[in-house]
């Protein structure tokens, strides 16, 4: 079970200071506080491990990923027990997330075996070409070196210690140093135990993976500034992500910071869909908004409609659908407080109408629903900021032109959704090119919560949805973040890497 220590290059290390976990229920445990010295030890070991792991065969890395998945599955009951205690999320959610996490690891194993991600290209030598001969040119993607990973509080397994970032980096051939999330230190440690065992079973260099608990912000800051770290995978808040991104950019050698942050994931309800299916969309929205206490980065927080009787009926239907939802436990006390602060910010904005006002305190959240006109939204940027929790905002536009204006002024989003019927296709066609410039994923007639892990998924988008619009943090394309192209010109085949020889 728990030892409360850091895993640094194969050794479980304690420290002088500890911090206590703050579970939603069940016992609190003590965990060693991370230090800059431990971060340095982990990074030095990761760099040393790169010289073997970065040049290992795809077969060996696939075996490693599958072994991690097996070891996580063996710890399923422990993970669910501690995970539910630390996060307050229900058992079914933890079990489902474990399946997603091991599925992701196995998907990456398959993906690297196929070799497609190497994007190998060959330009044959043309020795007789005039006026100049062409050399033998080959290109493929190579791993970049040690990666720092910061998981998020709301996915204690799938976006954390062995989550998507770690799986993608290890698949690419990059050692990983994880900064444990203070909201689920025990869950993180048990996953680290699973990875530790997989390293031993696969006979890999122990520096391939280290896990440093937090306890102070200095740990994460030292990690992103460490000269041996070559990129950062981060899932979390805009404030935290921006602070760490700025540190990466200010380094003597700036490095890419792949921050997947948040967004309000607007939904546009076109007139015929609103008229024919307003009630159905209202019920669906209420479910998506309150799922997991609204603690999803893809939570659709904003609905844009056009003024009229259908819009009024829709607002009433959403209010009715949301009213029965009871208080849900939030991931941390801090997130619950931020939710109430966000609610107060929206409630206090000029021209806002309260449609559903509830009450919540301590570590709980209840749904809130507000309404504003498109003019008020366009005048007040703050209405477009994410409120992490079950809060919805309906924006009422005077007409379709004003709806287009709202779309044009959106900040970067993870997702944008259209609800449209066949008769709405003219408006849909006009909106789509605008939304395409705003978001990584566009949906029709659905809800953005629930992100498929697959080869086509894009979980990212223009800032502030992410800090790097060319990347995704979910799906097999996410491996691209941790490789870079290398061109080999006239290199004798007997010394070329096996994958390009």
Residue ranges in contact with ligand NAP by CB under 6 A: 150, 152-155, 159, 179, 181-182, 214, 217, 220-221, 235-237, 240, 243-244, 260-262, 297, 335, 386, 388, 414, 459, 473
Which CB sits closer to ligand NAP, 217 or 353?
217
The least CB distance from residue 379 to ligand NAP, in Å, is: 24
The least CB distance from residue 192 to ligand NAP, in Å, is: 14
12: three-class secondary structure by DSSP: strand
Q: At CB < 8 A and 24+ separation, what contacts does 277-283 make?
A: 277/419, 277/421, 278/310, 278/313, 278/314, 278/317, 279/313, 279/317, 281/314, 281/419, 282/314, 282/317, 282/318, 282/320, 282/321, 283/317, 283/321
> Quick one: which of 327, 419, 403 has its CA closest to 366?
327
* Catalytic choice (97, 260, 386, 402): 260
Furthest-apart CA atoms within the chain: distance in Å: 80
306: three-class secondary structure by DSSP: strand
Which CB sits closer to ligand NAP, 21 or 275?
21
d(CA 249, CA 306) in angstroms, rounded, equals 42
- Residue given tokens 């982990």 in the structure block: 42
Looking at the chain, the number of H-run helices and the number of E-run strands are 14, 21
The least CB distance from residue 403 to ligand NAP, in Å, is: 25
The strand pairing partners of 416, in sequence order, are 442
Which CB sits closer to ligand NAP, 236 or 284?
236
End-to-end CA distance of the chain: 46
Which CB sits closer to ligand NAP, 261 or 360?
261
- Residue given tokens 């939802």 in the structure block: 325
> What stretch of H or E contains 313?
helix 309-322
* Catalytic choice (43, 174, 248, 297): 297
d(CA 318, CA 369) in angstroms, rounded, equals 8
256 contacts: CB under 8 Å, gap ≥ 6: 231, 232, 248, 468, 481
The least CB distance from residue 201 to ligand NAP, in Å, is: 28
The least CB distance from residue 115 to ligand NAP, in Å, is: 28
Which CB sits closer to ligand NAP, 13 or 335?
335
Which CB sits closer to ligand NAP, 178 or 269?
178
User: Would you state the structure tokens that stand for residue 388, as one six-digit string?
Assistant: 């992490």
Query: Is 260 marked active-site?
Result: yes
DSSP secondary structure letters along 120-175: -EEE--BTT-SSSPBPPEEEEEEE-S-EEEE--TT-TTTTSTTSHHHHHHHHHT--
35 contacts: CB under 8 Å, gap ≥ 6: 15, 218, 219
d(CA 329, CA 384) in angstroms, rounded, equals 25
The answer to whether the Cα torsion of 226, 230, 234, 238 is positive or negative is positive
Query: Is 253 marked active-site?
Result: no
Which CB sits closer to ligand NAP, 137 or 243?
243
The least CB distance from residue 237 to ligand NAP, in Å, is: 3
364: three-class secondary structure by DSSP: strand
The least CB distance from residue 297 to ligand NAP, in Å, is: 3
Which CB sits closer to ligand NAP, 261 or 393?
261
The least CB distance from residue 336 to ligand NAP, in Å, is: 11
Residues designated catalytic: 260, 297
């Amino acid at each position: 079970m728990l030892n409360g220590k850091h895993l640094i290059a194969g050794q479980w290390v304690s420290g002088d200071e500890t911090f206590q976990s703050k579970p939603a229920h069940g016992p609190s445990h003590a965990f060693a506080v991370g230090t800059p010295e431990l971060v340095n030890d982990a990074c030095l070991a990761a760099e040393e491990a790169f010289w073997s792991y970065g040049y290992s065969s795809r077969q060996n890395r696939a075996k490693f990923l599958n072994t991690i998945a097996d070891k996580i599955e063996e710890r399923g009951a422990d993970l669910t027990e501690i995970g539910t205690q630390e996060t307050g999320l229900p058992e079914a959610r933890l079990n489902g997330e474990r399946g997603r996490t091991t599925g992701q690891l196995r998907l990456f194993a398959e993906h690297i075996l196929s070799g497609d991600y190497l994007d190998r290209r060959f330009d044959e030598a043309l020795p007789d070409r005039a006026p100049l001969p062409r050399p033998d040119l080959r290109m493929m993607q190579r791993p970049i070196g040690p990666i720092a990973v910061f998981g998020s509080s709301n996915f204690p397994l799938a976006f954390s210690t062995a989550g998507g970032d770690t799986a993608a980096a290890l698949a690419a051939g990059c050692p990983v140093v994880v900064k444990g999330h203070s909201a689920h230190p025990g869950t993180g440690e048990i996953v680290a135990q699973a990875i530790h065992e997989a390293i031993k079973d696969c006979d890999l260099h122990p520096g391939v993976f280290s896990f440093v608990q937090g306890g102070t912000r200095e740990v994460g800051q030292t990690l992103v500034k460490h000269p041996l770290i070559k990129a950062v995978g981060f899932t979390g808040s805009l404030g935290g992500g921006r602070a760490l991104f700025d540190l990466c950019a200010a380094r003597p050698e700036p490095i890419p910071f792949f921050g997947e942050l948040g967004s309000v994931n607007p939904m546009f309800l076109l007139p015929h869909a609103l008229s024919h299916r307003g009630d159905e969309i209202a019920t669906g929205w209420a479910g998506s908004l309150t799922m997991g206490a609204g603690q999803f980065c893809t939570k659709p927080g904003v609905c844009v409609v056009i003024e009229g009787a259908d819009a009024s009926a829709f607002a009433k239907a959403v209010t009715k659908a949301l009213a029965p939802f009871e208080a849900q436990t939030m991931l941390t006390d801090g997130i619950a407080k931020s939710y109430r602060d966000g609610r107060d910010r929206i409630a206090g904005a000029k021209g806002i109408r309260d449609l559903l006002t509830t009450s919540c305190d301590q570590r709980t959240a209840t749904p809130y629903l507000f309404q504003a006109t498109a003019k008020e939204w366009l005048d007040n940027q703050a209405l477009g900021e994410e409120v992490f929790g079950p809060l919805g905002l309906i924006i009422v536009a005077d007409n379709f032109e004003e709806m287009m204006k709202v779309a044009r002024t959106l900040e970067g989003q993870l997702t944008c959704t259209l609800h449209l019927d066949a008769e709405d296709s003219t408006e849909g066609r006009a909106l789509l090119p605008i939304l395409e410039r705003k978001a990584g994923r566009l949906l029709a007639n659905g809800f953005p919560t629930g992100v498929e892990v697959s080869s086509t998924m894009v979980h990212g988008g223009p800032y502030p949805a992410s800090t790097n619009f060319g990347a995704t943090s979910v799906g097999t394309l996410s491996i691209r973040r941790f490789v870079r192209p290398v061109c080999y010109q006239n290199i004798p085949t007997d010394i070329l890497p096996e994958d390009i020889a």
